[in-house]
Every structure is written in C-alpha cells, then in structure tokens.
A and B are shown apart, each in its own frame.
Chain A
Amino acid sequence: MMEEILLLDLVERYLNGELDESQRVQFETMRHQNPDIDNLVVEHQMFLADLSHYGERRQFKHDLGEVHNKLVEQNEIIEEAEVKSIAPIRKLWLRNKRTIAVAASIAGVTALAISGLMQGIAPKGNQSYLQQLNRKMSQLEGVQREQNKKIDQLIDSTEISTKIPDKVQVSAGTSFLIDEDGYLATNAHVVEGSSTLIVVNNNKEYIARKVYENAENDLAILKIEDKDWKPVGKLPYNVRKGSVDLGEEIYTLGYPRNEIVYNRGYMSAKSGYRDDSMSIQIAISANPGNSGGPVLDKNGSIIGILSTRDRQSNEVVFAIKANNITAAVEALKKDTTFHNLNLPKYSSLKGMDVVKQVKKLQNYVFMVKGY
C-alpha cells in the first residue's frame, strides 16, 4: 500500500512538473523501462483530467445559478408568468369574477363566502378597487339572503341570473378534456348565458362551442372549434367507473386565479347537497373559478366535476359524479356528428406521484371564459 502511494505521489508530482531536473530524468528512465509505470502515468493523467473537468463543470453550474439569481434580483431577467401581456387579461378576469361569483352562487344552490371571495379577488395594493368591489358585493349579499329563502331547492338558475346587474362579462371557470379531439367537460353554470366561449391553456386561447348542456345535473360539454387547435394525443387520465369510498384522497386543478391551482382533499360523502344522488361531497379548499374542474383520485382517474361550495362552511364542496359525464357522452353519441367522441379508458398517471400527475394534467385543464 505504502509503495503504491509513493509511486502515485511521484506520478502526480511528475505530471504537475514538481520534480526537479535529476528526479525527472530518473523517473522518465524508469517509465521507459517499465511499461506498467508508463501505463500508470497515462491512466492517471487521463483520470485527473476527468476529475478536474468534473470539478470545473460543477463549479460553473453553480456560478450560472448565482448569476441567474443575481440578474433576477436586479430585474435584468424577468421570470414571472404574468410578464407577457397579462395586464389586460387580468383586468378582464377581475371584472369577470364578480359576475361569475354571483352566477355560481345562485346556480349552484349554495352561495359564496363573501370574505373568501374578497380575499381571492383582491389584488394587493389596489385598495380602491377592493373597496368598490366590497360595496357591490355587500349589496348583493343582502339580495342573496332574501333569494336564498325562496330558492332553497332551486336548481334551475336562468330566471335569477337574468336579474343580476352589470352583466357585461358573463362567466369564467374551469374545464378539462374528455376526448383528445377537443371535447371538454365543465359545469352548466359556468357557460350559462354566454354566447361566446373562450378556453385557455398555457396562455393559448381557443374558441369553443357548447354542444351539450344539462342544467339538472349542472353538466355541460364543450367542443373546441378553432383552427389553432391541435389534438393533444391520448389523454393521460380516464373516467372512473363505480363508486368512490369515503376517505379516499382526491385532488383538483382549476383556475380560481389566472393561473392553474392545485388543491387536495378527501371524499366526505357519497351524496351531495340535500342528499342529491347525482353528486358527492368532498372536503377540499375551493374558490370561485374552480367550478368545472376535474376531481381525481390518487390513480389519476376522474371521479367528478367540482361544482359548488356550501356557504356556511368552506370545506364542504360538492362535485358532480363522474357517471354523469359517461351518461352525457352516451346521449351525445346518438347524434352522428359526435359519433367519434370517446372517453379515455386508461389512466397512464397510475403509480406516478402527485407532482408528476399534476405536471402532466396541466396541459389538459382549461380556463373557460364566457362572453
């Protein structure tokens, strides 16, 4: 061992040019006479080169990270999703939201927790807007309370939504693909009263048309009809058949903000509001804009569509059961135009961790804007 170390030390010093003249000549003679030593020199030289490349690259990667962070801090590099042309969109979105909020609350039987809404909507540092909205919302709250008595069992919302003032922008919510050719599922109340629908994913907007609507179970199916649309290939999730067990972990993706938001929770009850058998109760944090979003189990199978929230309690949320989607698709397919519509059968998300699942899913969940 000691000999090996001495030899290695000699080789390294030779390679580094640290030997004096006589030592060097002596070592080179040794190297010529002994092929093993010659091999060792070559091998060690190459290895040290590899090692030093590795060190340099590692250091350089580190430096790159530092420079990047520094430039971000100095605003030389901008890295927020909201940089590009977001200002007008955001304004539109904010304006939308209060109408959506009201529409959602009425259509969905349950009303919104106003304070939650305020938090969700309030842009930081924009006090005047916040106050204005506040006033309008509290006026509406009074109206709502009165109406709530009358509309306790009300599901059909047409009559009331026409009473809503300030009906410029009609709605916004979430939807998700159920067929790779651009069919999306969402809530009926999300697209209620809109003549034009725009769906957005990854900052790309597409025109969509409502092809199916069932106010009774609050389900709508849209079809993207836009020349910019390109089929996305096989959907990574499927629609779960059969019932879901209490306590199962679930999660949702939606657009309560201008950006896609993930939330997780669990299955609470097999029926919805007032024993509604078409829906389920889940415990999850949801806000206006989440309506129409997919609710998935841990295997990445759709178990429902998030639709409404209990006014009294934040975490009591209702979702339409997935079998409503299956039924709607069956009904649609009777029309030959939609003959090719097919729900995805297999989930390729199974076994992936949630982070990976969500990453994949993002491309298939769209914001819906109704005009």
Chain B
Amino acid sequence: MRSETQEQEILDGIARNDSASLEKVYKENFGLIQNFVLNNNGSYDDARDIFQEAVLVLYEKSKQADFVLTCKIKTFLYSVCRRLWLKKLQQNSRFGAPIEQLEEIVPVEEVMEEKKQLDMNFALMDTTLKSLGEPCKSLLEAYYFEKKQMSEIAGQFGYTNADNAKNQKYKCLMRLKKLFFAQYKQAE
C-alpha cells in the first residue's frame, strides 16, 4: 500500500509531464480498466480509449493548483472510466447488461462536467487551428507549443529576421483569435 505522499508525488510527476510517473500510472492501472471494459461488452480499442481519456482527466486535474486528490489514483481512474464507459454503452445502446463493479468508486460528477467543457474547448481550438492553414498553424505551434525562440523560428520558416517572424506570428495569432471567437459564438 502506498502512502498518500507517494501518491501525491506521482500526481505531481504527472502534472509536470514526467514520463516515468506517467508510465507508472499506466502500468499499474491499465490492466484493471482493460478487464473492466472487456467484461462489459467493450473491445481492446475501447479499453485503450477509455483509459487514456481518464488519465487525461487526471492530468488536467493535476495541473490545477487547487486540486487535492482525496482517494487513490486507482480509485479515481476507475471511477472516471466506469462513468465514461457507462455513458458510451448508453449511447451505443449495446446489450443492456448491468455493469459489474470491481472496485470502490468515488463520485465524479463535477469532474465530468468540467471534462465536458474542456473537451468542447479542445475541439473548438482544434478545428480553428486546422482551418487556419499554413504556415500560420505551424508558426503558432512552434512558438506557443514547442516554445521555440523567434530567431530559431525565423530560420525554420525562412524569415529574414526574428522581428519579421514575430510580426508574422502576431498576424497569425490575430486571425486565429478572430476565427476562434466566431466559432465560439456559433457553438454557443
């Protein structure tokens, strides 16, 4: 049995994208979820999707400063997976077999609500970014996601200097914002 501090350490590791922590969580919990999904009319692909979705929820929670894990990571993941899978079964209305319970569960309603919002934001940004076109998309990705320096980006994209690249970046960003807010209004 791991202590609370050890669980917290793993969680902190996840939050700062530490690959060893992620691997640990994956290794220790995937089997349980796989069994659960397979035993409840799911496929191997379903098991992978559901599990990864749940770990993503854990990751996003772990990055919130005010998040305190009040149960074991395993219980959290199982509870989220259970909820996600139940929902999917309902959507597909596959055989209405009752879901068997393997582990204790904790309430995850709030987490699910939050996830819904985050999923929507992600989808929105994804479509917007894809509709932006090149080189804007790659340029913004290089700066905001890969955190590259402007001088490096200038070289990569063939701008004469960092200032030119920076101007271009802002033009792209302004377009992205415009598209994003237009879509956002539509979505609402």
Contact = CB atoms under 8 A, between A and B. Distances in A.
Interface of A: 1, 4-5, 8-9, 47-48, 50-61, 63-65, 67-68, 70-71, 76-77, 79, 81, 84, 202, 230, 232-233, 363
Given A52-B144, A55-B145, A60-B59, A68 B48 contact: yes
Contacts of B30: 68, 71, 77
Interface in B22-78: 22-23, 26-27, 30-31, 34, 38, 41, 44, 48, 52, 55-56, 59-60, 63
Contact of B17 (A47, A60, A68, A230): A60
B17 A63 contact: yes
A67 B22 contact: yes
Contact of B44 (A63, A76, A79, A363): A79
B174 interface: yes
Contacts of B44: 79, 81
Contacts of B27: 71, 76-77
Nearest to B25: A67
A56 B73 CA distance: 21
Given A8-B173, A63-B17, A68-B26, A54 B125 contact: yes
B93 A233 contact: yes
A64 B125 contact: no
Contacts of A67: 19, 22-23, 26
B126 A5 contact: no
A214 B97 CA distance: 35
Contact of A54 (B59, B121, B174): B121
A349 B56 CA distance: 34
A86 to B, nearest CB: 13
A230 B97 contact: yes
B41 A64 contact: no
Which size class do B's interface residues fall under?
35 or more
Contacts of A76: 27
B56 A5 contact: no
Contact of B122 (A54, A65, A232): A54
A-B residue pairs, 6 tightest by C-beta: A55-B145, A54-B125, A5-B170, A64-B52, A67-B26, A79-B44
Interface string B133-150: 000000011001100000
A55 B144 contact: yes
Contacts of A65: 52
Contacts of A59: 17, 145
A55 B55 CA distance: 16
A235 B167 CA distance: 60
A53 B95 contact: no
B83 interface: no
Contacts of B56: 57, 60-61, 64
A347 B13 CA distance: 51
Given A61-B52, A64-B56, A71 B26 contact: yes
Nearest to A7: B170
B111 interface: no
Contacts of A68: 26, 30, 48, 52
Contacts of B116: none
A8 B122 contact: no
17 contacts: A1-B171, A50-B125, A53-B122, A55-B141, A57-B122, A58-B145, A63-B17, A67-B19, A68-B26, A68-B52, A70-B23, A76-B27, A77-B27, A79-B44, A81-B44, A233-B93, A363-B94
A4 B174 contact: yes
Given A57-B60, A60-B59, A76-B27, A230 B22 contact: no
B96 interface: yes
Contacts of B145: 52, 55, 58-59
Contacts of A9: 166, 170
B54 to A, nearest CB: 10
Interface in B149-171: 166-167, 170-171
